[in-house]
Amino acid sequence: MKPIQVGLLGIGTVGSGTFNVLKRNQEEIRRRAGRGIEITMVADLDTARAQSIVGPDVRVVNDARAVIANPEIDIVIELIGGYGIARSLVLEAIAAGKHVVTANKALLAVHGTEIFAAASAKGVMVAFEAAVAGGIPIIKALREGLTANSIQWIAGIINGTTNFILSEMRDKGLDFAVVLKEAQRLGYAEADPTFDIEGVDAAHKVTLMSAIAFGIPVQFDKAHVEGITQLGATDIKYAEQLGYRIKLLGITKRTTEGIELRVHPSLVPAKRLIANVEGAMNAVVVNGDAVGTTLYYGKGAGSEPTASAVIADLVDITRLHTADPHHRVPHLAFQPDALSDVAVLPMSEVVTSYYLRLRVADQAGVLAKVTGLLAGAGISIDAVLQREADEVSGEGGTSTDLIILTHDTREGTMNDALAQLQNLPTVLAPIVRIRKEELN
């Protein structure tokens, strides 16, 4: 089957990430989707910059309507932003029978009812994973993974810019304006950054989550919206002293009286996982009656993290347009005829860093011997900790614990080195080895 053709409207921060990731991972994405996915036409007001991003093979125009009018194009990605031209273009794309993928939470939170109705009438999809918490697949989790549940509440850090500002102000004592500038430079902030700092962007996102969680229309106008501009450094400090962190939360909750829909700064106990979500990272806590509390964490903004969500939507739509649309989601995520025979590594080939604890005789030269042996095996040491001598060993001398952290090492190399270390007469007990993962 020939690749599905995609038209991209707006190739700024998210658009360029989408183009680049789709190109870089095209083979893997084709194996998942069951069909290639290609951006064949791009519209942007700055055609020269757009052409320099996509290269000479992709057609670039400055009129988005020319993309929508192209009969070869099945899916239109809207990454222009805002409620104005974006609304017209999305509605026109739907009217032309194209599926739409968008990251535009402002548009959907305000005009979602109209847009979803038009799409349903026309039998096309409007997919918006990128619109809420960027790269975190929270829409998919709410819509598909948690369908068994009566969702009770959702609370999320869903604006990277404000979380970045709050974190930097607290940790580095930096000024609000300085940090906001940095967030803009990094591509996190909205075109109008007051949307970020006044809580509007978070309210757009929680409005969409609320609709999906509770099966209600999107109604941004009912949301209570407070940002972080009134928040003083003093309150951040006092909250800290009381064991709390202040986070800008988007909250939606089912109550017997109705649905709560609100964004405001909140004190959160410092020991909660969500209180430790720092910088531009996002996190969403969802409570369902069956599953209990679940947490979703990751990058909620930025070029490629957001592109990750845009492309996931493209794959979902493309799977509807493959030879076998009944098997939309393959059992193993990749199409059965596209499975790979790449080998599973034997454990000896796995590379990790290590924590080693050796019970050694407290004698001159032991440390040098141990580290020398590791160096000889090509194992690089990250840190060494020698405890004070504390125990009388068998021969009447004292013994001590020697703790060593290593840098990345092949497991086989470590096994050989440990066997040699274990044979040293000054190593008095079986060596404890725990693998270390940074998970960052």
Ligand X SMILES: N[C@@H](CCO)C(=O)O
CA neighbor of 286 nearest in space, from 127, 128, 108, 148? 148
- Core vs surface per residue 247-260: b (16+ CB within 10 A) or e: bbbbbbbbeeeebe
HSE value, Cβ hemisphere, 13 Å, CA-based, for 428: 18
> Is 205 annotated as catalytic?
yes
Q: How far is the CB of 298 from Na ion (least distance, A)?
A: 8
Q: Which is nearer to ligand NAD, 303 or 393 (CB)?
A: 303
Q: Which is nearer to ligand NAD, 80 or 402 (CB)?
A: 80
Dist CA 437 CA 400 (whole Å): 26
Q: Which residues bind ligand X (CB under 6 A)?
A: 134, 159-161, 188-190, 196, 201, 300-301
Please tell me whether residue 14 binds Na ion under the rule CB under 5 A.
no
Q: Which is nearer to ligand NAD, 98 or 319 (CB)?
A: 98
Dist CA 7 CA 100 (whole Å): 10
Task: Pick the binder of Na ion from 44, 129, 198, 316 (CB under 5 A).
Answer: 129
Q: How far is the CB of 346 from ligand NAD (least distance, A)?
A: 41
Partner interacting with residue 159 (select from ligand X, ligand NAD, Na ion, none; CB below 5-8 Å by kind): ligand X
The sign of the CA dihedral 254, 150, 301, 105 is negative
Residue pair 301/280 in contact by the 8 Å Cβ criterion: yes
- Which residue's beta carbon is nearest to the bound ligand NAD? 12
Task: Pick the binder of Na ion from 14, 33, 75, 133 (CB under 5 A).
Answer: 133
Partner interacting with residue 15 (select from Na ion, ligand X, ligand NAD, none; CB below 5-8 Å by kind): ligand NAD
Of 12-20, 93-101, 330-338, 360-368, which segment contacts ligand NAD by CB under 6 A?
A: 12-20
Q: Report the relative pairing of strands 409-410 and 351-361 from DSSP bridges.
A: antiparallel
Binding mask 292-331 for Na ion (x = CB under 5 A): -----------------x----------------------
Active-site residue, selected from the candidate residues 98, 205, 247, 253: 205
Residue pair 192/88 in contact by the 8 Å Cβ criterion: no
Amino acid, single-letter form, for residue 51 = Q
Residues 6+ apart with CB under 8 A from 201: 105, 106, 158, 159, 161, 190, 195
Retrieve residue 35's tokens.
Answer: 């069909």
Residue pair 152/293 in contact by the 8 Å Cβ criterion: no
Partner interacting with residue 129 (select from ligand X, Na ion, ligand NAD, none; CB below 5-8 Å by kind): Na ion
Residue pair 369/437 in contact by the 8 Å Cβ criterion: no
Q: Which of positions 81-100 make contact with ligand NAD (CB under 6 A)?
A: 81, 85
Please tell me whether residue 104 binds ligand NAD under the rule CB under 6 A.
yes
Residue pair 328/34 in contact by the 8 Å Cβ criterion: no
Q: Report the relative pairing of strands 432-436 and 351-361 from DSSP bridges.
A: antiparallel
Binding mask 132-171 for ligand NAD (x = CB under 6 A): --x-------------------------------------
- The residues annotated with a catalytic role in the active site are 205
Which parts of this chain interact with ligand NAD (CB under 6 A)?
9-15, 43-46, 64, 79-81, 85, 103-104, 130, 134, 187-188, 190-191, 301-302, 306
